[in-house]
Structures are given as C-alpha cells and as structure tokens.
Amino acid sequence: MSELASDQQLTARSDGSLTWPSLTTPSRALLTDTVSLQPASAPASTWRNNVLQQLRQLGSLAPNWDGEGGLVPKVDILNSAAGLVDEILRHAPSLAEPYVRPTPDGGILLAWQNESSGEDIEVELETPGIATFVYSGSGKAGFVQGIICHDGRPLQEDDLIFLKLLPRFISL
C-alpha cells in the first residue's frame, strides 16, 4: 500500500491533468504518475466537474482513512472512474449527480438514488476497466447485477442492461 505524506496533494497542471505526489513509503522507489481526469471532448454536465473534484480528493486520502485499514484508491482506479463517468454521461447526459465514495479495498463507489421510486443503482470500480453494478428497485427489474467492461472504448452491447436502467435516475 502506498502512503502519501499528509502535506502532499495532487497538483493541477495547465493541460488539465493532475500530477500525483511522490510516494513516501521507504520500501518503495520514488514514483510520480500523471493522470488526466479531463478528456478532450468532455460531455456537458452541471455535476461532472464536482464528481471529478471528489475523485481527486479521494486520491489524497490518508492510509487507513476509515480507521479499519481502508486503502487509498490508486491513480488507475481514479482514472478509470473518471472515464466511466464521462462514458455514462455520453449515454445519459441528464443523469442526476451520483454519490461518490471510496471503498475499503481501494475502489470507488458511484451511486444513484431515485427517492420517489425507491430505486438505486451502485457502480463499484476496484479493478481498472471493470466495474460491477447492482440495481435494486421495484417491478420486473427488482434486482439486477452485472459487469461493465470499460477500458477506454465506448460501452458495448453487454452493457445495455446497465444503460437501460440509467433513465430511472434522470435529474428532474
């Protein structure tokens, strides 16, 4: 597990990318990664920048952030989450803003809730390029789970179930 010094932060560069701070774990080589959280053709969304900022902040968490050994999300997970947000917005530009949370295993959780219908959908990324989703609600689609393969390419036919569920979470 990488440990970030408490005074280290992600540094924004003029091209919109972020410079990851040097790792301070004595047993590991010094490492600096750059991650671009802003693709060239970003979709229009009032909440996109807010979500990207939250992802940046999650990368600055201290090790054991939850008091139970919680891992800090790695750069590749943060980058994958940002790419998936952009891909989701390409298919559902009016989607409501998700809740963004770290998972104890160093992943990212994106969750949408429709309070009026009692439905929710959660997308969890713990491996770059692969996300799992769980939908729970009422009616025919009371519980659905699946895998979203997101490796930088557009979402594929296998992801259609997930895409068909998104309109239930459109911002009003």
In the block, tokens 């009016």 appear at: 94
Place of tokens 């557009």: 154
d(Cα 171, Cα 51) in Å, to the nearest integer?
15
Q: What is the mean pLDDT of residues 72-99?
A: 90
**Model pLDDT, residue 167:** 81
Q: In the chain, what are the domain boundaries?
A: 11-169
pLDDT value, residue 89: 87
CA distances from 82 to 18, 25, 53, 74, 86 (A): 13, 26, 10, 13, 6
Q: Which residues of 98-115 are buried (b: 16+ CB within 10 A; e: fewer)?
A: bebebbeebbbbbbbeee
Nearest CA to 20 out of 5, 29, 9, 7 is that of 9
For 110-152, how does the pLDDT look when each residue is reduced to its tens digit (9 = 90+)? 999 988 888 999 999 999 989 999 999 876 667 888 888 877 6
pTM, two decimals, is 0.70
Nearest to 171 by CA among 46, 51, 55, 43: 46
Task: Please determine, for residue 57, whether its predicted confidence score (pLDDT) is greater than 90.
Answer: yes
Overall average pLDDT of the 159-165 stretch: 81
Classify 101 as helix, strand or coil: strand
pLDDT above 90: residue 98: yes
Where does the chain have alpha helices with state H? Answer: 48-58, 75-91, 160-165
Residue 133's beta-bridge partner residues? Answer: 123, 146
